[in-house]
Amino acid sequence: MNKLQNILRGNIRQYGMVIALAALLVFFQLRTDGIMLKPINVSNLVVQNAQILILAIGMVMVIVARHIDLSVGSVAAFVGAVAAILMTKHDVPWFLAVVICLVLAAAIGAWHGFWVAYVGIPAFIVTLASMLLFRGLTLVVLKGATVGSLPQGFKDIGSGFLPEIGPDTGYHNVTLILGAVAALALVVMDVRKRRATQKYGFDVLPLPLFLLKNALIAGVIIYFSYLLASARGLPIVGVILFALIIIYSFVMNRTVFGRQVYAVGGNVDAATMSGVNTRRVDFLVMMNMGLLAGLAGLVTTARLTAANPKAGTNFELDAIAAAFIGGAAVTGGVGTVIGAIVGGLVMGVLNNGMSLMGVSIDWQQAIKGLVLLAAVAFDVWNKRRTASGGGAGAEKADATAPPPPELIEEIEELEAADSGPPGPAPAR
């Protein structure tokens, strides 16, 4: 029982946000007479919140590295405006315009990274200036008007769906297959993580609870795949988002760069003394945020089927809120891609559910602000409780918590190095 309590205590933020998301879905499902989980509404939920979830992935990396980016909404609007101008005014093929605009977005992020990493100006100031700069440039590029008549292939990025393949079953076959594959992949990854954790003597969930957890995860994925397959299938932007989650989860958990981001955010001085090029890490994190902001801008323009001077307004606030609600720490060093996605979904479900209930926009803003404040307050309370509330018990909980995958991988690498042939004797 103590082992189970220690495991749950070590993952309280992760489990808490998932439980909160499930509670919100149940609450709005009951209050909206079942509209919340209707297939068409679930599809709309994915399409309408994709750009915020894309931004949340980049924002959580920025926050983990102890920075903040206030420019993402303006950069998204500017890149979307440039894309629309290229396609409508200069007859650039839409796929080439997408590539050009992603390169432009990465260059904007590199511009931010230069000032933050190599000049030493705080990211808050740099991106605040860029928020004003690119909002103004958006108005200049669009000349204050909305630009539409975009190619259908480009519009499909934001509002299109995967094509139907196979026999007529009454459902979208590709979506069902992808859902089953995703559920199986997550279960296999969790089983591998459990075996690696057991190998080094750390506590794991009891087998019945482990099986129950994976059954619930697989069941939820398959159920939502069924809901999407009952409508028009998986949106194209959902495929993009799913690919980003896999890529960035791998980067943050399984690569040297990901470990360096956590190290820099946790203690920049210790990371510097350990040989980490902290300037390079800061530069790449900011450049990556610019790239994802540009992608979010393209998705937004495609979904709206036009470039609007006011596009991207408050995107930065929603992305920052998603990261913090998903468990990112204000002081840096803590946060996950999956947590940011869960946080973004919490915000999306709140927006969608309150709109279905007829809650006015002013109250929606007030409620979202309270949710953000509660999430950060919970984070602060949890840190204080862990640090001083449990004494030896708290220390034991920290010591017996399951190790992260990157720690297990590092241990395996060290063991492999130790078991190899001895190297040459050091030169005298």
End-to-end alpha-carbon separation of the chain, Å?
56
| C-alpha–C-alpha distance, residues 8 and 25, integer Å | 23
Q: Per-residue pLDDT for the chain (428 aa), expressed as one digit of tens each?
A: 555 555 555 556 667 778 888 888 899 999 888 888 898 998 888 888 999 999 999 999 999 999 999 999 999 999 999 999 999 988 899 999 999 999 999 999 999 999 999 999 999 999 999 999 999 999 999 988 888 788 999 999 988 888 888 788 888 888 999 889 888 888 888 888 888 888 877 777 788 888 888 898 888 889 889 988 888 888 999 999 989 998 998 899 888 999 999 999 988 899 899 888 999 999 999 999 999 999 999 999 999 889 988 888 889 989 999 998 888 888 888 888 988 998 899 889 998 899 988 888 888 888 888 888 887 777 777 767 766 654 444 433 343 344 454 445 554 554 454 444 444 444 43
The whole-angstrom separation of Cα 189 and Cα 173 is: 25
Burial of 202 (0-12, 13-18, 19+ CB in 10 A): middle
Contact 62, 319 (CB under 8 A): no
Domain holding 184, by residue range, is 166-234
Residues 179 and 151 placed together within one structural domain of the fold: no
pLDDT at 105: 96
Same domain, 214 and 248: no
Domain count, the chain: 2
Smallest Cα–Cα separation from 157: which of 225, 78, 240?
240
Q: Check whether residue 33 and residue 79 sit in a common domain.
A: yes
Examine residue 190 and state whether it is found in any structural domain, yes or no.
yes
Could you say which of 234, 258, 293 is where a domain stops?
234
Give the three-state DSSP class for 78. Answer: helix
- Sign for the CA dihedral angle at 17, 21, 26, 28 comes to positive
Q: Which pLDDT score is estimated for 410?
A: 52
CA atoms within 13 A on the CB side of 233: 18
Q: Give the three-state DSSP class for 369.
A: helix
Q: pTM higher than 0.75, yes or no?
A: yes
Are residues 216 and 284 both part of a single domain? no
Q: Are residues 302 and 314 in the same domain?
A: yes
Instruction: Give the CATH number for residue 347.
Output: 1.10.3470
Helical spans, DSSP H, in 143-267:
152-159, 173-199, 207-230, 236-254, 256-266
Task: Give the integer Cα–Cα distance in Å for 375 and 346.
Answer: 11
Residue 347 lies in a domain: yes
Burial of 117 (0-12, 13-18, 19+ CB in 10 A): buried
Q: Are residues 153 and 198 in the same domain?
A: no
228, 241: one domain:
no
For the record, the structure tokens of 391 come out as 């004494």
Report if residue 424 sits inside a domain: no
